[in-house]
Amino acid sequence: MSRIAFIGLGRMGSGMAGRLLAAGHEVVVTNRTPQRAQPLLDQGALWAPTPAEAVTDAVAVFAMLSDDAASRAVWEGPGGVLAGQLEPGTFAIECSTLSPARVRELSAAATAAGMRYLDCPVTGLPEAAASGSLTLLVGAEDADLELARPLLKPLASDLFHFGPVGSGTAYKLIVNLIGAVQIAGVAEGLAMAERAGLDPAQVATALALGQAASPQVVRNSQRMVAGDHDSNLAFSGRLRQKDTAYAIALAHELGIGVPFGQVALDGLDELLAEGWGELNESAIIEVARRRPSQD
């Protein structure tokens, strides 16, 4: 089996690193908060103090990070991946959801360092990361992806290769923009239902059985009714806001208007301004409940 460096041990990254360990790989982990690594160290992972040290002798470097700033710090900052002793042809597998501009920047830097770059964001919640049932959204050269497939297999039940580097991120931002619009819509609908005197729990049940149902609508409507925004964090409002902003930036690059997406982003901006960004994204209903009519 292979030696793999894994950087970023949040809810998603920890599960993914665990899957690589379970597949028999030697996994070297590093994280800004060392305490997060302990469960993986207990399973046999190795610890490295910095990304540069983690990548020594690795055939692949996986990263699962929160945003562009975290990606720059990990890859190009002091003690970053690109400052390490990289073997020619080492895979750079960036699973974070980044902006298109950052993907272009990072793929150029990694390629210049002799790495094979895979744009590989994922869809799926932390439970899917831990069970190896994520969906991988890949942008890469055909030959690079074929060589990397054995490393990716423990992580996912599905893999979509959308084309060259950047195409995986483009799809991820598109689908997350759709999700943001759906979540904003269900928040407004439930707020209306409450004002109309309907039973919110019954409304959520009916939504799950009707034409408006989607995994986003079903999951978030149930959480909105339960009001458990601060427990069992699945996807935070801050991350949804970041992904939506990156998606709108992509739309601007493509010269297409996304007014529904902008409305969703406005609501998420308000969510963050109220200090609710670290709660589940379902907390957007609190914004919908407070908004007055525009009449």
The active-site residue, picked from 19, 25, 102, 172, is: 172
**Residue 172 falls in the annotated catalytic set:** yes
- Measured in whole angstroms, the distance separating CA 191 from the mean position of its chain's CA atoms is 28
Token representation of residue 132: 């190896």
277 in Cβ contact with 236 (< 8 Å):
yes
Q: Positive or negative CA dihedral for 271, 273, 276, 278?
A: positive
Residue with tokens 């744009």: 119
Q: Could you tell me the CA-to-CA distances from 89 to 12, 42, 295 in Å, in that order? A: 26, 30, 61
**Nearest CA to 239 among 194, 164, 180?**
180
Token representation of residue 37: 């690594």
DSSP state of 82: G
Q: Report the first-to-last Cα separation within the chain, whole angstroms.
A: 64
Catalytic residues: 172
